[in-house]
Amino acid sequence: MFRRVDRTLFRKGVTFASRRRRQYLKISSGVTETYQRFSTGGRCVVYKREILGVHYGSRRLYTTLNSEQSDKVRSLDNVKDELDTTKPQWFTKLITKQESISLYTTFQSLALQDRNLMNQIEVNSNLQHLLSYLSSKTKRDSKDEFDEDSRDVMNISFKSLKGSKSVESAFAIIIHTILKAQYPAYSNPTIDACLEESRQKYNLQPASLFISKELAGDNVFGSDFDKIVNDQNFRTAVQILKIRLKENKGWKPNYESRDDNIITWINSLFEPSTSKCLIMLTRTKFVPDIIIYDLLLRKPTSELEYKYFFEFYKSFSTELNLIDQEKLYHFKQFDTKFDRSLIIPALFNNLFQISLRSKLEDLPILIDLFLNENNISSIYTLEQISEMIWYLSYDHTGEHANKPSRYCNISQSKLIRAVNHMTENSKALEIDVTTMLGVSNLSFYRDFRKSFQMFKNAKKQFDHWQLQNFKPKSFKEVMITKGNNSNEVARLANSGLLYNVKVDYNIKFLCNSVLLLAVNSENEEMISQDLTNIFKKIEPDILIKYPEIWQFVVIKLNYHKMLTEQMIAMLLQEYLKHHRTYGTNNYFVLDVLINNTQKVKTLISLIENLKIENMDDNNISHLISKFYKFAKNQSSGIDLETYNCLDTARELYTNSKFKSSRLNSSHLLGEAIFSPQDTFKRYNSINDHFKITQLSISSLFVSVYKLYESDTYDKVRWGANNDVMPLDFALDEFNKHISRAYGDTSDGMLYPNDNLLTIYVNVLKVFGKAEEIKELLSRLVDLKYPLGVPLFNTYLDALNDWDKRELLRCLNAYDMKFNKLISCRSEYQLKKLKEQLPAVQAKGSFEEFVSKMEFNWGVIRRWNWPGRLHER
């Protein structure tokens, strides 16, 4: 199962160890024997006994150690109290791991809303439920005992341990037996019944465990390991897991489900280090879906970890989507306050939010994987898709504040098609308010009329929703319609939940209204004042729950160039006040404010008051770039408050704990200005270990340009043997890593941006590379690149006067011809007009390009060139 994923990245340090003959421990009833493992060349493995060691009375010893606790330890709650007191190693590791998982935070919140979530722990097979409870500080009310037989009355649906044949329930049983081994007085009738039923059904006896000496010495249980693996209930539970894996997946007990693998899977449930967990799991080759699911709920701490997460999801998305939806359904039953973290399934949302912030190119692939047959055929996913459409309607990176990335457009289009498909196939479904407002936001940047029309449609839909759900006289009374599902009615028949749904719609209307505000020179000051007053008037808990309020205000101010230094200072002051009081961070807002300020003191104050620890790598990357820019201005004789900006940029990079590709790229580009002769050495050392980015490639061309400016270009050689001219190396890297056609970014190629293309064209110009300049235009057609006026001007400046005039003449001529053709009302009229209109032809360098213009006009007509006669 795991072999489809590249495991080499995490195995560099363990290759040698894996080739050695391993020693295995045979553990059975307190007796431990050491065996040597020999491979026969195929799948078969032979174990040869070498040494015999006996742990005298180990079971008796462990029982005696806990005899004082036997009278007071009875229920799972008592065990939890003992865990809090004694804090065994595996328990402290579990707490650390769970605290970094958003689903754990959701569990804590739901536990305070509905006691039934806590009261079913002992009989529930939900692994995340059990792990979250054990590591939580929330206590159950001892008076509220959960009666499994009454769950239908309480409208609670869950998978019971009784009679379950799932792999997940077997892992839940194992966790309970670990607790029993740790505290022998722990009593759980459901677990006892499951163990006894399996013993009788499969004639199970506690079997010996073969565990490698390496794993026995390095696991999360530490000194408690012997106690746990010697426990008869634990070894029976391991056998149950092997049976379930064989029944569900066909895995063999002595191969895919061998003891070493099972102990590794259990370790991963407690191990707080994501990197260590990945190393362990990639050694096993085979991993159950529920273990992968638990892994992918974590926040990756590096690009390499994220890459593994993304690849796992690509490989096992069908199975993981099913688990994700099941977990969401289970937890959503207890939501009485409209928790936003329970709209999109937890695992997918984890990857989705990371991609929105820093891996935009992965968004279309993630959306495709989510929109599988199971998800688009379920009525429950419509709300999830609507929320994704909302998130995709505004920028999260801080680099596309004036217009969201093309990847957001592509991804939102995929989701809108899915919504249309679902609503067309089911009359019970309709496009909701969130979807309309999300489409309105993204349309704003291309078509204001369409955006405003969607806003009005959303308002009508919202009014209709209110009439359906609320009686006019009393806002808190709910009208139950015939078509509603009974469980959904029970969940919605709660004035607090319904009120919060209305708040959700109103906040999204507020954000959309902010974007649609008409701003002109007369009302600019008044609107900027009104926008900043939002932070002072709105409730803090709303700002925490809806961080996009900050984002839409900043996006609007930035879009209309209202982010003056005074405004930035005021916003930073408000941001810092909110951060100190509530401990919240909004990385997007920091990005935009950092990018727009021209004052060194503002950034120094930000670093001193907020601290680098409260910024993400995007923020730090923007800070580094900004200080390099300030340093460049200082070197040009511009006084920037006499602060050493170059040293600050270098210190920020050096002191950064994790050096991501983004951070490295900012460093490479900055250093290319001040020490271009060393660029090749830096580029090679960094890109051996990190992903190449558009900025990395740009740094090569910046260095070439700087070497040319300083008349040292001819003295410098790059390449492994110092025999390549800098420009030749830069062009090779550009062609190797930059896409040649639309859609090939999935193969690891990079889609270019305006900054890269601008420096690329300028360097080609100074070195007289006319052929490469001419070929670039055809490449941009293949890339379906949205060529705007600034970049087009740069391109035209690189051409000779004749080619420049010919290109513009042909573009305008074909644009005029196209506009005449689309006015035709019939095929006959179109045919006649084509015969009358002369063909558009060019002379010179662009003769071939113009000859293919009719075929490529679908892309070219979306370009904006200077002096275009017909505005698009």
The string of pLDDT tens digits covering residues 709-725 is 999 999 999 998 889 99
Q: Is the predicted pLDDT of residue 92 greater than 90, yes or no?
A: yes
Angular region, 158: left φ>0, alpha ψ -120 to 50, beta rest: beta
Weakest-pLDDT range from 18-27, 126-135, 235-244, 557-566: 18-27
Nearest to 702 by CA among 770, 628, 630: 628
CA atoms within 13 A on the CB side of 31: 9
The pLDDT of residue 67: 39
Q: What gap in Å lies between CA 610 and CA 574, rounded to an integer?
A: 12
pLDDT in tens, 578-624: 999 988 899 999 999 999 999 999 999 999 999 888 999 999 999 99
Question: What's the chain's average pLDDT?
Answer: 84
The arithmetic mean of pLDDT across residues 150-159, rounded, is 53
What is the number of alpha carbons within 13 Å of residue 513 lying toward its C-beta?
12
Secondary structure (DSSP) of 593-608: HHHH---HHHHHHHHH
CA 642, 645, 646, 647 torsion: positive or negative? Answer: positive
pLDDT the model gives residue 687: 74
CB 633 within 8 A of CB 609: no
Return d(Cα 379, Cα 433) in angstroms, integer: 16
Q: What share of the chain is helix, strand, coil (3-state, %, to 5)?
A: 65, 5, 30
CB neighbourhood size of 446 (10 A): 10
Residue 37 is predicted with a pLDDT of: 55
Specify the amino acid at residue 453: Q
- Which residues, 6 or more positions from 821, have their beta carbon under 8 angstroms from its beta carbon? 830, 833, 834, 837
Q: Is 204 exposed, middle or buried (0-12, 13-18, 19+ CB in 10 A)?
A: middle
217-227: average pLDDT: 92
Q: What are the residues whose beta carbons fall under 8 Å from the beta carbon of 294, sequence distance 6 or more?
A: 127, 128, 131, 268, 269
- Please name which of 647, 698, 712, 703 lies closest in space to residue 679, comparing C-alpha atoms: 703
Please state the rounded mean pLDDT for residues 625-644.
77
Q: Helices 102-113 and 303-332 sit at what angle, rounded to 10 degrees?
A: 20
pLDDT of 59 > 50? The answer is: no
Average pLDDT over residues 515-542: 91
Q: How many CA atoms lie within 13 A of 414 on its CB side?
A: 18
State pTM to two decimals. 0.84
Reported as a single tens digit per residue, the pLDDT across 736-776 is 999 988 877 656 788 899 999 999 999 999 999 999 999 99
Sheet holding 209-212, edge to edge: 45-54, 31-39, 23-28, 209-212
Query: Which residue has 């308002």 as its token pair?
Result: 459
Whole-number Cα distances in Å, 143 to 116, 139, 313, 355: 12, 12, 42, 45
pLDDT single digits (tens) 647-672: 999 999 998 888 888 899 999 999 99
Give the pLDDT confidence of 781-792 residue by residue, as tens digits: 999 998 989 999
Which residues, at least 6 apart from 846, have a Cβ–Cβ distance to it below 8 Å? Answer: 774, 777, 803, 806, 807, 810
d(CA 122, CA 146): 9
Distance between CA atoms of residues 105 and 290, nearest Å = 20
Residue 348 burial by Cβ neighbours in a 10 Å radius (0-12, 13-18, 19+): buried
The rounded distance, in Å, linking the Cα atoms of 410 and 627 is 34
pLDDT at 747: 66
Place of tokens 């600050």: 648
Cα atoms in the 13 Å half-sphere on the side-chain side of 688: 6
Longest dimension (CA), the chain: 103
The per-residue pLDDT for range 301-322, each reduced to its tens digit, is 888 899 899 999 999 999 999 9
* Residue 167 pLDDT class (50, 70, 90 cuts): very high
Helix intervals (H) in 359-447: 363-370, 373-376, 381-391, 406-425, 433-443
Q: Is the pLDDT of residue 477 over 70?
A: no
Angle CA(316)–CA(320)–CA(321) in degrees, nearest 5?
A: 115
Distance (Å, whole) CA 215 – CA 279: 13
- State how far Cα 825 lies from the chain centre: 48
In three-state secondary structure terms, 211 is strand
User: 398: alpha, beta or left, given left = phi > 0 and alpha = psi -120 to 50?
Assistant: left
List, for residues 549-574, the tens digit of each pLDDT value: 999 999 999 999 999 999 999 999 99
Average pLDDT for 105-113: 87
- How do strand 23-28 and strand 209-212 relate by DSSP bridges? antiparallel
Q: Which two tokens stand for residue 423?
A: 């609503």
Residue 244's pLDDT is 96
